[in-house]
Amino acid sequence: MEGSHDNIERELEECRRAYRKRTGQFTKLLKQSKEMTANLRLNFDGIVHLLGDVISQASPLMGGHTKRTAALARSIAQAMRLNPDRRRLVFYAASLHDLSLAGREQNWLDEENRDWLDHPDRSADLIAVVKNLGRIAATVRSHHEYYNGEGFPRGLRGEEIPLESRIITAALSYDRSVALRKVPVDTTLENMEAGGRFDPQVLEHLSSIIRSEDERRRRGDRLILLEELTPGMELADDLILANGLVLYPRGTILDEETRTRIINFDGMFPKSGLIRVYGAGQ
């Protein structure tokens, strides 16, 4: 019996060693996979920025519009609490939405010509040539579809349009009105709210972002390091963790407890280390 017990113990120990070995191998593979994913994402970010620079060089006016649209669309996606992957999708698609019109600025300005009406499909087709960019291509293909069904190229309406596309549609329309046509901000927002072309929820967040930017300019917000936070300061933005959860909403007045909690969450913000605030604190 004693020998049998020893054999069982040896077998159990061998199983434990094998388990630890496999666990270690799995952990190593998981780490390598995460590193590869991060590198691929970094490389793709570089490609998107490179294409953005190409668009800017070919058509400076279009390049400025594209970059502003991408930044605004990403802000809307963040305000709507989309997860990080969907926020990246919005940013990438917004950065490439007019790709097929690069170098043809006159056609880009004329919204009645054939190139303009075809460009969502053409831009999407160019993007779809690259393997694994199907979601970006699909988002770009629908970036001129309107919520009321009056858009193009397929006349989709409402929830038939991907949310990411609805976000880009609102962002680019705002920028074309304000930056290109020089329509005042308030008039632009009123026109967008009245036409039925835009997702009301998206439009609500866009309006909030624009008005917050106006408030920042009036009140003089500033970016500071986490360790520079002091009680009495007011958050100028929602404080959002990398997983999309809001730690504290915009307008929160810091006390010692909230300040300490924010600092303890360092490393969990999408852009760790900088906070936008009003006021000098106590």
CATH of the domain at 140: 1.10.3210.10
Q: Which of 168, 197, 219 is the last residue of a domain?
A: 219
Amino acid at 4: S
Report how far residue 177's alpha carbon sits from residue 191's, in angstroms, rounded to the nearest whole number: 10
Residue 97, domain member (yes or no): yes
262 plus 182 within the same structural domain: no
71 plus 198 within the same structural domain: yes
How high does pLDDT run on average in the chain? 82
Q: Which of 172, 193, 219 is the last residue of a domain?
A: 219
65 plus 180 within the same structural domain: yes
181 pLDDT higher than 80: yes
Number of domains in the chain: 2
User: Which parts of 129-255 fold into alpha helices (H)?
Assistant: 134-141, 163-175, 185-195, 200-219
104 plus 181 within the same structural domain: yes
Residue 16, domain member (yes or no): no
Residue 109, domain member (yes or no): yes
270 pLDDT higher than 70: no
pLDDT above 90 coverage of the chain, percent: 34
**What is the phi/psi pair of residue 280, to 5°?**
-100, -5
99 plus 80 within the same structural domain: yes
Average pLDDT value for residue range 56-62 = 79
206 plus 226 within the same structural domain: no
Q: What is the pLDDT of residues 15-30, one digit of tens each?
A: 667 666 666 654 555 4
Q: What's residue 27's pLDDT?
A: 59
The range of the structural domain enclosing residue 165 comes to 33-219
Query: What are the angstrom distances between the C-alpha of 163 and each of 154, 197, 245?
Result: 16, 14, 19
Q: How confident is the model at residue 269 (pLDDT cuts 50, 70, 90)?
A: low
208 plus 250 within the same structural domain: no
CA angle 93, 190, 151 (to 5 degrees): 45
271 pLDDT higher than 90: no
CATH of the domain at 250: 3.90.105
Cα torsion 37, 40, 46, 52 to 10°: value is -90
Report how far residue 32's alpha carbon sits from residue 189's, in angstroms, rounded to the nearest whole number: 47
